Amino acid sequence: MPLSASVLIDGPSELVFDYAIPENLKVLPGCRVRIPLRNRPATGTVLRIADKPAGDFALRFLTDLVDPEPLVTAPLLKLAEWITAYYGTPLEQVIRSIIPSSIRGEKNSAKTRRAATLIKAPSEEELATLAKRAKRQHQIITLLSLTDQAIPLTELGGPSAAPSLKALATKGWVKLLDLEVRRDPDAHETFVPTEPLTLNHEQAECLKVVQASLNLPSTSPQPNPNHPVTNHQSPILLHGITGSGKTEVYLQATKAALDLGKQVIVLVPEIALAPQTVQRFKARFHDLVDQIAVLHSNLSQGERFDEWHRIRAGKARIVIGARSAIFAPVKNPGLIIVDEEHEPAYKQENPPKYHARDLAVVRCHLEKCSVLLGSATPSLETYRNTQLGKYQLVKLTERADGASLPLTRVVDMRIEAKKQKGRDAIISDILRTSIEKRLEANEQVIVFLNRRGFARSLQCPPCGHVIECKHCAIPLTYHRSEERLICHICGHQAVVPRTCPNCHDPAIRQQGYGTEKAEIILRKIFPSAKIARLDTDTTRRKNTLRDTLRDFRAKKINILLGTQMIAKGLDFPNVTLVGVLNADLSLYAPDFRAGERTFQLLTQVAGRAGRGDLAGEVIIQTSTPHSPSIQFARHHDFEGFLAQELEMREQFGYPPFTHLALLLARSSHERRAEFTLQTLHRKLAEQLPEGVILGDPIPSPLTKSHSQFRFQLLLRGPNPRALSQHLNKILRATPTPEDVIVTADLDAYDLG
């Protein structure tokens, strides 16, 4: 009886079918195959091989292999199984994340163009004859004889040269072929080579720790999802203040790994950081530019196809990308670097809801390599692991260039509002004066506001009505440039009303402000300054973000205004002032991590100032100046914030002292979603694992999204495996209405 293969069918569904394997095909797990599906051909990915089919029925045979080599390496398959066990996610969903859609589908392929190469040089007599009778053929032969490489037809005269090339090929002098062309996302960029910098004492000590981990053989047992690593190859947390030279340590650690013949994966949380990171690595490893690959969502399907296959073929030794790059098909990884490891952006929002930082730790264990986690404001979970001895801790306490941390001042906007006598207090007098001084000195300024749009909402003062999205339970944001009200959750747009839709009073007015309004005000106050805005609205066109940051670095822009995409990781030596508008935005979110996120965000954005020879200054505008998060950020006091935050977390039983799982039920029928969650809550309460705390079902903070009502409950416990197993056991055993969607998120980061 032939072997059978379980095949995940390409497409939006989660179909997995068994097929018999023909004797002439060598099929392995991870291979891409062609299969018959009903009355049409299809493609899929082999998940597993079995000795016999699950049932007694006859199986149809696989048609062919798409590629003789597996697209998913053995360690990545083990990682997929770990994700399935830890997060309770079906293996099929995990495989879809590991193999991007641009690779799975056969619509994408390598880009080729016709080219010609010289295979036999004509004699002197034949050349002379060509020069007299066929000058075009003589020109082509002359060009081809100058190089051993194939030359594209476009460089030989294009379509008009086709008859001459055909004649030369008939004579046996020239060969026509298809030349593969790489779709390089940085093809038009130039990189000025840089040399390694001299490390200070702290940087040198950090590098020694990384180098030691690179050379340590690992004899660890199989990974345990509760404690994925052992001290044989412990992850390293590089806790360095902003501007302390963490990137230089990354670069020199990468060089050490490359010297050992290994490959390196570099993860960045935001696409905004990718251009700068790519620029630094390509400038440093200028002799290996063609061996650096980039993976993130801003690439076209063709670019992603080419980069992924370059990595798989071993042509790329350094991979730089966002969270999905943790699945890059490198075959010999030596080091994985996770920059800004604290960032929530590393948590995947859609199933499988993995955390890329945690997967980096597990993958390094599976592949016997090192992982380096870097941050100026480490997550409490990571820092707690260093306290427990699971991770190594190395510190950079001084800025690399010897500069001091910026002076930080906090402005109470309640007092400022009284000064400005009822006008929208957006730019305080202190911030305006400081910006004027920086502009006069030809220095640059960053203004941070983590809200886009012109006004937060439209409200009618007489009746109090706020115009909300009809699909989501949030106010519509007014965008002046488009003259539309837009929902920032589902994208719904509405016309701006002239009167209140509720009471028809014309006194309806705008409430709050976003980056669009802040930009207009800045242009009015500083008419001669060159101002640029970076947010989701202004970076829709490809390369806009990269071009704007490049212009800012070249000092073509005086003031850069933006959301959190400019708040971290960027290095501009001429920036001496950072202004933070409305620092309270994230402080009072219904989330136990609100204080931590506010502290991290303020510390990171403050770190953009004073990174060169000039002293830096930070001005934080807030209506809650005495908040611990703001005061600790003001004094750059991570240790102080850590101590009080850990004390609070331990007292209330929140991570990092427990693991947390979020169970969410959503439906277009409010009562059904609520009843479903109440039913699940009752069943979860039965045989609850020891130490697990089960919360009550409540409406989500965002009670409605995309026309679906949302209800949630939280589970907390010391053992994540026990949480995951209990949740999935109940979910599998409890049928839910067809129009109710239930999702479970282990180690959830978004409680909204």
> Nearest to residue 326, comparing CAs of 315, 313, 337?
337
Residue 639: Cβ-neighbour burial (10 angstroms; 0-12, 13-18, 19+): exposed
pLDDT at residue 385 tops 50: yes
Q: Which residue has the higher pLDDT, 355 or 169?
A: 355
Classify residue 464: in a domain, yes or no.
yes
Residue 19 to residue 42: CA distance in whole angstroms? 13
Predicted confidence (pLDDT) at residue 32 exceeds the cutoff of 60: yes
- DSSP string of 194-220? --PPPP-HHHHHHHHHHHHHHH-----
Considering the domain architecture, whether residues 341 and 212 belong to the same structural domain is answered as yes
The pLDDT value given to residue 1: 61
**What pLDDT shows up at residue 130?**
84
Q: Which of 426, 409, 352 is nearest to 87 (CA)?
A: 352
- Banded model confidence at residue 474, pLDDT cuts 50, 70, 90: very high
DSSP 626: T
Percentage of residues in the chain having pLDDT higher than 90:
62
* 643 and 519 within one domain: yes
**484-505: per-residue pLDDT in tens?**
999 999 999 999 999 999 999 9
Contact indicator for 622, 431 with CB cutoff of 8 Å: no
d(CA 752, CA 182): 42
Residue pLDDT, tens place only, 153-163: 878 877 778 88
Nearest to 354 by CA among 76, 96, 84, 720: 84
Element holding 17 (H helix, E strand): strand 16-20
How far apart, in whole angstroms, are the C-alpha atoms of residue 264 and residue 339? 13
Nearest to 560 by CA among 529, 581, 533: 533
Mark whether 249 and 327 lie in a shared domain: yes
Average pLDDT taken over every residue of the chain? 89
Q: Which domain holds residue 261?
A: 201-221+232-396
> Would residue 66 count as lying in a domain?
yes
What does the pLDDT read at residue 458?
94
Same domain? 60 vs 141: no
Q: What is the pLDDT of residue 218?
A: 40
Is the domain of 354 the same as that of 430? no
- In this structure, is residue 580 part of a structural domain? yes
For residue 392, pLDDT beyond 60: yes
71: how many CB neighbours lie within 10 A of its CB?
A: 21
Cα-based torsion angle of the residue sequence 10, 14, 16, 17 in order, rounded to the nearest 10 degrees: -80
Task: Answer whether residue 221 shows pLDDT above 50.
Answer: no
Q: Sort strands 698-705 and 708-717 into parallel, antiparallel or unpaired.
A: antiparallel
Residue 55's pLDDT band (cuts 50, 70, 90): low
Kindly state whether residue 3 falls inside one of the protein's structural domains: yes
> Is the whole-model pTM more than 0.85?
yes
Q: What are phi and psi of 47, to 5 degrees?
A: -90, -40
Residue 231 pLDDT: 41
Tell which of 622, 648, 674 closes a domain. Answer: 648
Taking only the tens place, the pLDDT of each residue in 638-649 is 999 999 999 999
Residues with Cβ within 8 Å of 592's Cβ and at least 6 positions away in sequence, in order, are 649, 652, 654, 751
Q: Tell whether 271 and 300 lie within a shared domain.
A: yes
In a domain, 82, yes or no: no
In a domain, 532, yes or no: yes
Q: What is the 3-state secondary structure (H, E, C) of 371-406?
A: EEEEECCCCHHHHHHHHCCCCEEEEECCCCCCCCCC
pLDDT score, position 565: 84
> Do residues 239 and 302 share a domain?
yes
Mean pLDDT in residue range 179-200:
80
- CATH number reported for the structural domain that contains residue 700 in this entry: 3.30.70.600
Structure confidence by residue, pLDDT tens digits, 708-752:
999 999 999 999 999 999 999 999 999 999 999 999 999 999 887
- Residue 423 and residue 513 in contact, taking contact as beta carbons nearer than 8 Å: no
Find, among 344, 377, 417, the residue nearest to 622 by Cα.
417
User: Mean pLDDT, to the nearest integer, of 374-378?
Assistant: 96
For the segment 148-171, the average pLDDT, to the nearest whole number, is 83
Among candidate residues 657, 679, 634, 659, the one with its CA nearest the CA of residue 721: 659
Classify 19 as helix, strand or coil: strand
In this predicted structure, what is the pLDDT of residue 105?
63
What average pLDDT does this structure show over 16-36? 91
Average pLDDT value for residue range 438-455: 95
- Domain shared by 596 and 732, yes or no: no
Q: Which residue has the higher pLDDT, 3 or 190?
A: 3
Q: Are residues 580 and 674 in the same domain?
A: no
Q: Which among 625, 648, 671 is the end of a domain? A: 648
Lowest mean pLDDT among 270-274, 585-589, 613-617: 270-274
Number of structural domains, the chain? 6
Q: Is there a single domain that holds both residue 438 and residue 576?
A: yes
pLDDT band of 220, cuts 50, 70, 90? very low
Separation of alpha carbons 107 and 547, rounded Å: 31
pLDDT in tens, 503-516: 999 888 999 999 99
Q: Kindly state whether residue 77 falls inside one of the protein's structural domains.
A: no
Distance of alpha carbon 331 from alpha carbon 72, whole angstroms: 10
Residues 282 and 158 grouped into a single domain: no
Given a cut of 80, whether residue 562 has pLDDT beyond it is yes
Helices (H), 607-669: 628-634, 638-652
CA contacts within 13 A on the Cβ side of 381: 18
| φ, ψ dihedrals at 58, nearest 5° | -80, 140
pLDDT at 322 exceeding the cut of 90: yes
| Position 194 in a domain | no
Q: 């890329």: which residue's tokens? A: 356
Q: Are 296 and 324 found together in one domain?
A: yes
Q: What are the Cα distances from residue 73, in Å, to 78, 79, 222?
A: 9, 10, 17
